[in-house]
């Protein structure tokens, strides 16, 4: 009986040793396969985007104070939350967004005609030329009349973006500033696509260009920079090509 047991054990051992050398041990996880993805601004490897910090504002021309939206803060929160969710999924967690909303509406020093242009088909970029310096000098500079020490949390290693909800016309995105009309974010007419319109302008701040022809407006991509800006945020995306440009 004992002899049989020894024989069985020898066979089992032999089988295990044979399997080890001939079949091999499966490798389930290899450190070599893990690459650290470092996302960066399109066209600028020196500007990392692993952490993005948005300072958000509601800006109102001096003569439009009576138009202030009752629930502006709730509105802006909702739209920025949607942007954060979209960004986290699209960038596959390689880039995070934190945001802070300036707690009061900012009443501009000037009337709307001073901020706007007569032609806004191209998104009213002229508004940025006057609104941004005003926010910089009045809110962000320590000696500004609207400076608040409790609104000064930009982490030093974060990419800082300004998002301006504007009580006026147009929408536009530039180097590190996105501006969008409050009407696009609140009106029922734009309800289905408002978050995508905001995201479109935001991605300009990361360097992504428009994916449509100007002035015809014919989309050259289906993603958020092209036709996808007119789709609900849950049904749009950032193209693989643009993700690669961001370092993914
Ligand atoms: Zn655009």
Kindly report, residue by residue over 205-231, the tens digit of the pLDDT: 999 999 999 888 899 999 999 999 999
Write out the two tokens for 90.
């699209």
**Is 217 part of a structural domain of the chain?**
no
Residues with CB under 5 A from ligand 1 (ion): 210
Phi and psi for 68 in degrees, rounded to 5?
Answer: -50, 130
Is the bond preceding residue 215 a cis peptide, omega within 30 degrees?
Answer: yes
Distance 101 CA to ligand 1 centre (A): 23
Residue 147 domain boundaries: 48-210
pLDDT tens digits along 73-105: 999 999 999 999 999 999 999 999 999 999 999
Distance 195 CA to ligand 1 centre (A): 14
Residue 155's H or E segment, with its range, is none
Distance 121 CA to ligand 1 centre (A): 11
Q: How far apart are CA 197 and CA 48, in angstroms?
A: 24
CA dihedral (15, 20, 22, 27) in degrees, to 10, reads 140
Distance 103 CA to ligand 1 centre (A): 28
**Is 77 part of a structural domain of the chain?**
yes
**Is 154 part of a structural domain of the chain?**
yes
Distance 197 CA to ligand 1 centre (A): 9
Q: How far apart are CA 40 and CA 51, in angstroms?
A: 10
**Is 230 part of a structural domain of the chain?**
no
Q: Do the bridges between strand 51-60 and strand 177-181 make them parallel or antiparallel, or are there none, so unpaired?
A: unpaired
Residue 39 banded pLDDT, cuts 50, 70, 90: very high
**Is 10 part of a structural domain of the chain?**
no
Residue 125 belongs to domain with CATH number = 3.40.390
**Is 37 part of a structural domain of the chain?**
no
CA-based nearest residue to 186, from 54, 74, 23, 55: 74
- Residue 157 per-residue DSSP state: T
Q: How many domains, the chain? A: 1
Distance 14 CA to ligand 1 centre (A): 68
Global confidence as pTM: 0.83
What average pLDDT does the segment 57-62 reach? 98
Instruction: Dihedral sign for Cα 138, 142, 145, 149, please.
Output: positive
11 versus 204: the higher-pLDDT residue is 204
């Amino acid at each position: 009986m004992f002899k049989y047991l020894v024989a069985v054990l020898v066979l089992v051992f032999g089988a295990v040793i044979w399997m080890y050398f001939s079949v091999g041990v499966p490798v389930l996880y290899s450190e070599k396969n893990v690459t650290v993805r470092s996302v960066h601004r399109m066209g600028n490897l020196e500007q990392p985007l692993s952490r993005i910090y948005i300072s958000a504002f509601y800006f109102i021309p001096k003569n439009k104070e009576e138009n202030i939206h009752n629930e502006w803060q709730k509105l802006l929160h909702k739209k920025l939350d949607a942007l954060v969710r979209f960004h986290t999924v699209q960038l596959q967690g390689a880039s995070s967004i934190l945001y802070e909303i300036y707690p009061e509406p900012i009443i501009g020093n000037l009337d709307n005609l001073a901020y706007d242009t007569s032609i806004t088909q191209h998104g009213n970029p002229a508004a940025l030329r006057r609104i941004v310096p005003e926010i910089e000098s009045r809110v962000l500079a320590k000696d500004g009349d609207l400076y608040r020490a409790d609104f000064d949390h930009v982490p030093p290693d974060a990419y800082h973006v300004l998002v301006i909800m504007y009580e006026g016309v147009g929408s536009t995105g530039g180097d590190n500033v996105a501006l969008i009309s409050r009407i696009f974010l609140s009106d029922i007419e734009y309800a289905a696509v408002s978050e995508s319109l905001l995201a479109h302008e935001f991605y300009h701040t990361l360097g992504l260009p428009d994916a449509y022809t100007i002035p015809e407006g014919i989309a050259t991509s289906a993603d958020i920079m092209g036709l996808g800006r007119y789709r609900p945020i849950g049904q749009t995306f950032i193209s693989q090509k643009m993700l690669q440009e961001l370092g993914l």
